[in-house]
Amino acid sequence: MMDRLYLVIPCYNEEEVLPETSRRLEAKLKELIGAGQISQDSRILFVDDGSKDRTWELITALHQTNPMMEGLKLAHNRGHQNALLAGLMTAKDRADMVISMDADLQDDIGAVNAMVAQYHQGCDIVYGVRSDRATDTAFKRGTAQAFYRIMSFLGADMVYNHADYRLMSRRALEGLAEYREVNLFLRGIVPMIGYKTATVEYSRGERFAGESKYPLSKMINFALDGITSLSVKPIRFITLLGFLIFSASILMLVYFLAVHFLGHTVPGWTSIVVSVWAIGGLQLLSIGVIGEYLGKIYLETKARPRYRIETLLTHDPQ
């Protein structure tokens, strides 16, 4: 019996791309089945992340007419990471290996063959890695690069230029299920699971239809989430900064006392005002960083559900 593959595709308002995406993915699965790489009953699971357009109707229609296609509807929009997690956790009990990718097929689906081949070589996690970012705008490329630099500086173990296009075996997914954090940043957690891993390179294309669901504001939120959910280094920097400034003020005190006793008067208004503002700003910034973590802890202690499944359309007996 060959191993069963599930493709998990999070979709948010993707009515424009779904028909084409489902066609291409179906062809890819059939090719792999034909080549004897995966089992006959491999499937595609579309996760509707609370879309407001006709996405769920399209998924329902695909499920009705095609025994390969399944659907999972979340009760409301929970964001890409949570939608992906919902799909992975649903596929975990049905599949031997799961590949996650975006609905817009910006990630070259040709890399699926290499991922499955690595799985057969005994890998539990196979990361899809972009070989170039030629099709991204210079701005997106620059911000993304800065993000990876900052992350590795802060000590987060992330795979460079890897987004959420990856293969995971069933036991890797079972490992993932043990991470219960609400502030979900999958590409930071997955490398913590361990097991044998590999990377597969691909080139990233442009969205063939529709618009990005990741505007700048969401990107910034995502980056901040990534940093604060993986690392406590920013808080340590604040401590260090506080120590440095305190040491500097002691030195300044010594200097000013010396100047005072030597009989020079200090005009000093400018320096006082500047330092008051500088220290005030630093303090506010530091409190803000600590507040970020406090907010995270608050949310984690609440342990709210990360997603809620409304409907599951499957061809398997439930």
Binding site for Mg ion (CB under 5 A): 102, 104, 106
Residues at the site binding ligand UDP, with contacts judged by CB under 6 A: 10-12, 14, 49, 77, 79-80, 83, 102-104, 106, 212-214
- Contact of residue 90 among Mg ion, ligand UDP, none (CB under 5-8 Å per partner type): none
Cβ proximity to Mg ion, 208 vs 255, nearer residue: 208
Q: Strands across the sheet with 197-202, in order?
A: 197-202, 125-130, 162-169, 97-100, 5-11, 43-48, 69-74, 309-313
Cβ proximity to ligand UDP, 107 vs 124, nearer residue: 107
Q: What 3-state class would DSSP assign to 270?
A: helix
- Contact of residue 40 among ligand UDP, Mg ion, none (CB under 5-8 Å per partner type): none
Beta carbon of residue 310, minimum distance to ligand UDP (angstroms, whole number): 15
Residue type, position 27, single letter = A
Cβ proximity to ligand UDP, 102 vs 225, nearer residue: 102
State how beta strands 69-74 and 309-313 pair: antiparallel
Beta carbon of residue 87, minimum distance to ligand UDP (angstroms, whole number): 9
Beta carbon of residue 298, minimum distance to ligand UDP (angstroms, whole number): 22
Beta carbon of residue 83, minimum distance to ligand UDP (angstroms, whole number): 4
- Contact of residue 39 among ligand UDP, Mg ion, none (CB under 5-8 Å per partner type): none
Q: Residue 225 to residues 147, 161, 183, 282: CA-CA distances in angstroms? A: 12, 18, 7, 22
- Contact of residue 227 among ligand UDP, Mg ion, none (CB under 5-8 Å per partner type): none
Beta carbon of residue 9, minimum distance to Mg ion (angstroms, whole number): 12
d(CA 115, CA 121): 10
d(CA 73, CA 90): 11
Contact present, 81 and 184 (Cβ < 8 Å): yes
Number of Cβ within a 10 Å radius of residue 247? 10
Cβ proximity to ligand UDP, 187 vs 213, nearer residue: 213
Cβ proximity to Mg ion, 70 vs 164, nearer residue: 164
Cβ proximity to ligand UDP, 214 vs 256, nearer residue: 214
Give the list of residues 6+ apart from residue 181 with CB closer than 8 angstroms, or none.
189, 229, 300
